[in-house]
Each structure stands twice: as C-alpha cells, then as structure tokens.
Structure 1
Amino acid sequence: MGATADDAAAPPWWRDAVFYQVYVRSFADSDGDGVGDLEGIRSRLGYLELLGVDALWLTPFFTSPMADHGYDVADPRDVDPLFGDLEAFDRLVSDAHDHGIRVTIDLVPNHTSDQHPWFRAALRGGPERDRYHFRDGQGPDGSRPPNNWTSVFGGPAWTRTPDGQWYLHLFAPEQPDLNWDNSDVRADLVRTLRFWLDRGVDGFRIDVAHGMAKAAGLPDLDPAVVPVRTGAHAHPEADPRFDNEDVHDIHRMIRQVVDRYPDTVTVGEIWVETDERFARYVRPDELHLGFNFKLALTGFDADSVRHTVENSLAAVADSGAPPTWTLSNHDVERHVTRYGDGAAGTRRARAMALVQLALPGVTFLYNGEELGLPNADLPDWALQDPIWERSGRTVRGRDGCRVPLPWEGEPPTFGFSTGDRSWLPVPAEWAGYTVESQLEDPASMLSLYRHALEVRKTTEAFAGTELEWYGAPPGCFAFRRKGGGLICALNTSDAPVPLPPGQILLASGPMAGEELPPETAVWLV
C-alpha cells in the first residue's frame, strides 16, 4: 500500500483517516482459549471493511509474561504464543492491505518486562544494568528508595533487588524503565522499528511518548506541586518523571528511521498539561500525530465540548499536524458510561459520535464503541488490571472497558471465542449489543457509525481544516467546516431548539420537524 508517482502530491493518507483501535485480547478469539488473537482479527477483517475504517491500531501482541496485558514486553520483535506467531502477523497485514486497511502497531519504548533478557542479566549484576535505572538507596543501610517518586499504578516507583540496589519503574514493578542515555537502548529501538516496518506495518502508536527521558539526577517530586500519587492522566510540567526535554531527541531518532519507509505514520500517547508542551511533540521532525485526550475527558455539555474542540485545534495550529479526536480507549471509561449509562448515555454517545466524525483531522475509534458498549460492572474475582492489586483493591482499574466484544449468538461469549469462556466475562445482558443483532437494524449504533463513516468518506462537505462557529441557544453549538460546508449542530440542553438552515445529511436520533431535539446532533449541508 505504498505511494505511487501518481499520488505523490496527494496529502498523506493519515491526515483525515479513521483509525480503529483493536484491543487484541478482546476482539476475537480463534483458538478457543478465551483470549483474542491475530487470527481472530484476520477473521473479522470483512466486518472492519464494512464498518468503513481506514486503519487499525493493534495493542501489544509481543512476547510478554502479561503482568500488564502485554505492555510489559519481553521480546519486542516476536509474537507471544498467546496471540499467534510471526506468520500469523504477516497474514494479518497482507489480508488487511487487501481489504484496503492499513495496520499500525504499539511501540513500548519507556520500559521492558522484568523477564526481558536484558533485565534478567541486569539483576545478575552484568553491564546490562546500565540499560535501566539502578541506584543505591538512601539512609545508612540504603533501605529507603533513592527518591520519592511514585508509580502511576500506585505505590513507590522503586523496587529493591537482592544485592541492595533499587530499580525504577514508573508503572508496575514488572515494568522496569529503560535508561535512554544508554546507546544500546537506542540501537535496539532502531532495530525494532526496522523489523516491523520491513514486515509491512504502516506505522506505530508510541506508548508513553512523553516518558522515556528522565530529569537529570532524578530529583524528588515536590509534594507542593505534584501529588504524592499522580494518576496516568495528570503530569504537570513540574513533574520530573515525564515530559523532559531530552525526550524530543528520541522522537527525532524515531522519525529518522520511519521517514525511510514512505507512507508510514507515528502517533504518540502524550499526557501533558498545556498546548505549548503538546505542540512540541508534533514538530516536523518528530511525531506525525499526537493523541489529544481532552475530548475523552470532557462531559456532555456543549460549552465544554466547544472549548475542548477549540483548544485541541489551537494545540496543533502552528505545527502543521492535524488534530486527533478520541472519545474512548483501553485506559479510560467508555463514553456511554461516562455520559450517564442507559438510554441517556446511549443518546449522548450517538450525538458525540457525529460531533467527533464531523471534525477536521484524524479520528480514533475504540473497538466496541460502534456497538454502543458501556463499561461492564465486573465482579471482584474477575478483575485483572494491575491497578486493582497495586491500589490495595481500592481502585478497580480499567478492566470494565476491556471486556471482549459480543459478536453473535448466546452467552457466555457471544461468539467472541470458539470456546465457552473469555478472559474477562461478557455480561449476559449484552445480547442486544451483538454485531449480529445490530447489523440489519437501521436504528442501531452500528448502523449509525457505518452510515456516518460512509458519508464522511464520500461527501465533499467534509473538506477544509478550519471551523466557523455559529451563534446558538444555551446548551447548544453549531459549526461549519470552512472549505467543505458541512454543518454540525449539537443540542445538550433539555429542550428542542431550531435547526440551522440546510438539508439534513444524518441525525443521531429521531428528528422533530424543524427542531433539533435534546441530546441529539445533526449533519446538514
């Protein structure tokens, strides 16, 4: 799916693409073990083509002991047997390309698994120890951690080894942080990038792209500025664990490798506080795209959504990079639940789907949002997220948004697996969410997404990269895509409001004459 001379002048494919995040464990299981795999994804490519997405983002499928469900990588250049093998990956990429779908994969450069050969050698005292952050402890016997840093998953960010030193892990103890001042670490990442690019991947989503580089000397957190326990979504500029200046050298190195493979893309997971800090990651020689999570953290309120949209557009205005939009992913509560669950949450999620898909730039969908899945309320015994144990079983973690997709048929797995179990239980009440039950229902969430994606792809009204805002009643907004003419109106109030002038292309719910009902969005031209 490389570029040709005929389209050399065309904008990159990813500038207005719709990516679909596949949480590999939870998409489709081909071998009956209850865990999704690469062959399962391959078997559902027809569905993804029918849905109308342009590209996939696959979460980690690399060799891993699964302490953090694959984000603890023991071999970044192989497939864990749980998910298949390299031949299965090659078949998936080839078939996806045949379906007109690009494939991007996760890259996890901040840390490895504690089972990585490097770290096992480091524990034995070898020179590999310099590839991680090992330090002597504080106090006369070194029994206190080297500094007061905390783990994103809770508890201290240091674990002591049998020889008395401590090693740094900003996530779980099974995920030791790499030392990016070490040339071996940099060379190995280049090797990993080339390995997968040579196998035909179309790009990378870079995990913790604001991490990697640590503040010189590993200074203490200032409790007055940074809370003792900081969540994954809050890294102030004063936090020495993240967003340090040297991280940009790493992204420039990555970009130099990727640029040798035409038509490929990098997108970074960037949790920073300000637009200025965000913009630094999407400069012309660094990341092509940066995940902007603000829409995924914004409530169903027209003023708040407008503010988020304007803020997100401004964040990349001077960089040349398009904005990105996402409502859910594997780390945040599903937006149906965030908007109130039940019928109201579903109506609001339908409305926000049209808002998201009307915006200029790149859209990321999370598997299952096109089915209207809510967070699942799982029993304690089923929880597997390391946050659950690290928090002393006080924070339930992210499992509720990671439950396997319901495809067809009956419980317990609704066609997710050829077996009779799944790694997280699928709620029996999800029968109405299955792909099978929604596919031929014109009023279903799945039909709305299919229709919206088709209109987005085939209608010239979606041209242009700037928005013009109209005056609107309280609790509402309307904008027009300059250059294309699409109008998107949203009503988050509790009363119907007059529609802007134009012909209706698509509405998120039933319309009422010349009025836009509450909790509804509409596209017009």
Structure 2
Amino acid sequence: MQVGNGPDLDGAPWWWDAVCYQVDVGAFADVDGDGIGDLEGLRARLGYVELLGVDVIVLAGIAAQDPNTPELAGLLGEARDAGLRVLLSIDVDPARTDPGPLLRPWLDAGLDGFHLAPRNDPGDAVAAVLADYPDRIVIGSGTGNWHLLFGLDLAIAGFAAGPVQNAIDSVLAADAPRPAWAMASRDTSRIRDHAQLTPVRAMALVQLALPGAVCLRHGEELGLPGTERIRMPWEGDRAPFGFSTAPGDWPSIPDEWVEFTVEAQLEDPESTLSLYRHALEIRNTHPAFTGEGVEWFGAPEDCFAFRRVGSSLICALNTSAEPVPLPPGEVLLSSRPLDEGALPPGTAAWLA
C-alpha cells in the first residue's frame, strides 16, 4: 500500500527535507557567566551544530529581544558561512490583523523565517508579510498557510509499530502542508541509563527515514528528555557540565548526565549522539533518500517495514519482544547492533 504523494524533487526548495534544530537559547550555553544561556554561547558552540549535520537552527526564547544587536548579526553571519539557515520561534496571536510590526524587524535582520507558536491560523496575514521577503518560510501546526506542518504524531503514537504506522499513514494522506516530523515530547522526564534509550534510538531512525522535514530539539540527539527545558551538558564530570561558569549546585541537572555529555558521546561510536550524526550524514548524502510517499511491506506482528516510493530506502522497525528477519538489502544503519542478521526487539534499521 502506498501513502502520500508529492512533486518532482528536481529544484525542490531548501526547506523541503530540512532537518531543523531548535535551540532554547537560555538553556544552551552561557558565555557571560550569569547562569542563563545567550546568543554568544550559541555562537561559541556553532561548530557543534555544524558537526551534528542539521540544516536549520530555530532560535527559541529570544522573541522579546531586540533583533538589531551585534550578537544576532554575528551569529547569523557565522551560521551563513557554515551553510545553516536560522529561524525564530515566536508567538503570533491568531486574532492579530497585522503581524508585520512583529515579524518584519526579524526578517530585516536576516532571519530565514519563523516557527510560530501558538500555531493556530492567523489567516493570510503572515503569508502577506513573507511575500515581501523571498525564500523565507513558516513552520506551524493545526490549520494554516504554512510551508511546513509541525506535528507530534510520532511522539503521540508511542512505541508500538501499529500506532506508529497509522500515524504515518494519517499524516502522509492528509491534504495538508509538507510534514515536519517531531519527537520532542517524550514522557521520559529523566533518563537514568542507556537501556532506556532503546525506543528513542529506534524512533529517531523512523523519523529521519520519512519524506518531509524533521524538527529536533537540543539535547534530543544526546538521548535527553524533550519535555522540559534542558540545560545542554557539554563536558566535564560535574554539573553544570560546561553549560556555564556560574557557581551553584545546579539541582536541575542530574549527576548521572556525566555519561550523556557531548564530550562523553562524541568519540563513542555506540552513543546516541554518534547514531544521530551517522544518520544525518547518510540522510544528507546517500542516493536512496529520495522519493515521496511510503510503501508498506508485510511484516510480523508488532513490526513494520516501509520503502520510500521512488527510491531503494527501506526502514524496518521491531517493537515486538522477539528478533525478526530483516528485509532484503544492504544494511545502512541500525539503532542497536543486529542479532546474527536479525532485527532485535526495540530496534530500527535502514536498508537499501
């Protein structure tokens, strides 16, 4: 069964399959030592964002700031040099008749568009503003005149092959803007050991295999929970793990995150960060990652396998309690080591 259709991808716009990385600026990196992350902190860590392999940075938590600052100008300049687009997460009241005074200063400052929240439809007012700024976009949810439709359908479906397949079918069959798949709302308020990351890692491969854009939230690539504002753990053996030089006990940062820092994961080929980096590299470079819609194969109970229509990419997921045979093809990546050629429980794999 095939679900979803789309245009010929020759000449597709830059946002068509973009991987967006939302940075809660106040929780990402603190340069001035006041305990609150800042734009200069993000700028200092921009090399990490580039290394991760995303396409777009979404700035969250700065909409009340002045867009005409040297800090933002410097960040935008370095982001462009790194080939990164930059969006702003911002509230737009759906009852507002003229969002121009709110949006135009950011567009004039050089931002590439917005992730709107609350994400209800403010009519065509936002589209009218963007009409004066070519190549700028809006990510929204619900009903709206968006370029990309932000959706947590995969997160809501949980970790069960049937509901996940139904969620994918529903999104791709809808008469709606192109999907921007997100998994940022997880019920794992605290990750305390690597075994808990089995479904997180598997669903990351499902998310990144689908046609459409992807929205990640900072810390997600480390396997950290996405339901709360998380201070990014960078390095070291004690809180705040390089986030800030400000003194304090930092009770909101668990001591066990020492194993989940960027430093601890970067050189570990089995880490969640390495999985994300490898997956994003394959997604960006492998010729199999084309095609619109998905075609489902027969699969054992509590499992599924789909192929991107028009390509050779296959994604298989096993949410059962037993290993299952892999579909035929060359294994590109798996979320956990394979079991003598079989797909273990709680594992996803890409094949071509």
Is the Cα contact below 8 Å between 2:138 and 2:146 reproduced in 1?
yes
Shift of 1:193: 1.6
| Mapped pair 1:497 → 2:324 | yes
Residue 294 of structure 1 corresponds to: 153
Pick aligned residue for 2:109 from 188, 199, 203: 199
CA distance in 2 between partners of 1:424 and 1:366 (Å): 22
Question: Would the aligned equivalents of 2:192 and 2:256 in 1 still touch at CA under 8 Å?
Answer: no
Higher-RCO chain (CA-CA 8 Å, sequence separation at least 6): 2
**Match status 1:264 vs 2:136:** yes
Is the alpha carbon distance of 1:479 and 1:12 closer, same or farther for their aligned partners in structure 2, counting shifts above 3 Å? same
Counterpart secondary structure, 2:123: helix
AA in 2 matched with 1:413: P
Q: CA deviation at 1:422?
A: 8.2
Pair member with larger Rg: 1
What is the aligned partner in structure 1 of residue 91 from structure 2? Answer: 108
Report the counterpart of residue 81 of structure 2 in structure 1.
98
Q: Is 2:63 the partner of 1:190?
A: no
Runs of 4+ in structure 1 displaced over 3 angstroms?
Answer: 338-344, 421-424
Kept in 2: contact 1:339–1:345 (CA 8 A)? no
Could you state the TM-score of these two structures normalised by the residue count of structure 1? 0.63
Which letter does structure 2 place at the counterpart of 1:266?
Answer: V
Q: Secondary structure at the match of 2:21?
A: strand
The CA deviation at 1:487 is 0.3
Q: Is the 8 A contact 1:477 1:490 kept in 2?
A: yes
Moved more, 256-265 or 444-453: 256-265
- CA displacement at 1:440 relative to structure 2: 0.6
Greater percentage in strand: 2
2:339 aligned to 508, 512, 522, which one? 512
* Residues 37, 424 of structure 1: alpha-carbon distance in 2 compared, 3 angstrom cutoff: farther
Deviations 1:385-409 (A, max 9, x none): xxxxxxxxxxxxx6xx212010001
Q: Which residue of 2 aligns with 1:78?
A: 66
Q: Is the 8 A contact 2:20 2:215 kept in 1?
A: yes
Which of 222, 236, 247 is the equivalent residue of 1:371?
222
Q: In 2, Cα distance between the equivalents of 1:436 and 1:341?
A: 18
Q: Number of residue pairs matched?
A: 343
Residue pair 1:300, 1:339 contacting (<8 A) in 2 also: no
CA-atom RMSD in angstroms: 2.0
Q: In structure 2, what is the Cα distance between the partners aligned to 1:339 and 1:297?
A: 18
SS of aligned partner of 1:78? coil
- Consecutive unaligned residues of structure 1, counting only runs of 5 or more, are 1-8, 64-76, 80-84, 111-177, 211-246, 271-277, 376-397
Local SS of the residue matching 1:295: helix
Which residue is 2:349 aligned to? Answer: 522
* Shift in CA distance, 423/94, structure 1 to aligned 2, threshold 3 Å: farther
Tell me whether 1:23 sits opposite 2:47 in the alignment.
no
Shift of 1:297: 1.4
Identity of aligned residues (%): 49
- Which residue type is aligned with residue 35 of structure 1? I
Scaled by the length of structure 2, what TM-score is found?
0.92
Determine if contact 1:33/1:422 at 8 Å carries over to the other structure.
Answer: no
How far residue 202 of structure 1 moved from its aligned partner, in angstroms, is 0.4
Matches within 5 A, 1:379-458: 401-421=228-248, 425-458=252-285
Secondary structure of 2:178's aligned partner: coil
